[in-house]
Amino acid sequence: MVISFANRKQTVKIGLVHMTVGALSIISFAASAGGVSLGATRIVYPLTAQQVSLPVRNSDSQNTFLIKSWVSNPDDTKSDEFVVTPPLFSISAKHENIVRIMYIGKPLPTDRETVFYFNSKAIPPVAKEKIKQNTLQIATQSTIKLFMRPENLASASVDAPRTLRCSIAGGKASMNNPSPYYVTLVNFRIGENKIKNTMLAPMSTSSVDFSGKGGSIKFQTVNDFGALTPEQTCNS
């Protein structure tokens, strides 16, 4: 089992909850989930493992939070192929709880990784005297990647970035990932063009649009532990 503990930022959603009306609006940005954090920036779940565990920490010195956790598909719909235990629990100030994730779905490909997303929403407490008032509460949601990884793949994950092949034509860059692993590109540049972070699926080719002049394709990747690899220039 590989669970990362690096300090790479995770995706966090902020929900503004009006306690009387119950309306919920969500925006996304990278930040700490206000006092509550996950003990990893990504999860690697070996296909042969019965389950994996993930720490959830509350660094707040005063407040207890209600934590709701689930796994979603790449299209952001909730996945029914996982059991998260416990799915709902409270975590006291300065405490840590363990969430267990178990895959119960149909057989997955054994020649490449499959990606899902683990989500954890932290709901803050409401003072009793404010329950009947029009009160605005902030609920934070952290989302990290969950990679289902088969054993005995043809190559090691650490070698995947070096296998990438690239080409440029007509304002588009073609990025080929022949490895069985997902590869996330960060600090991604094509010449002087800064490109948004991009995740390349295993055994696939992706097209990346850019404006202006082309040039060398350079990037860093994120390893199994959430750390950035040295910058590399893509091979053509």
* CA dist., res. 183 & res. 143, Å (int): 18
Domain ranges of the chain: 2-149, 160-233
The owner of tokens 């991604």 is: 188
Q: Which residues, 6+ apart, have CB-to-CB distance to 200 below 8 Å?
A: 164, 175, 177, 182, 183, 184, 185, 206
Look up the CATH number of domain 2-149: 2.60.40.10
Tell me if domain 2-149 and domain 160-233 are identical in fold.
yes
Confidence of residue 134 (pLDDT cuts 50, 70, 90): low
- 83 and 102 Cβ atoms separated by less than 8 Å: yes
Look up the CATH number of domain 160-233: 2.60.40.10
Per residue in 53-101, pLDDT (tens digit) is: 999 999 999 999 999 999 999 999 999 999 999 999 999 999 999 999 9
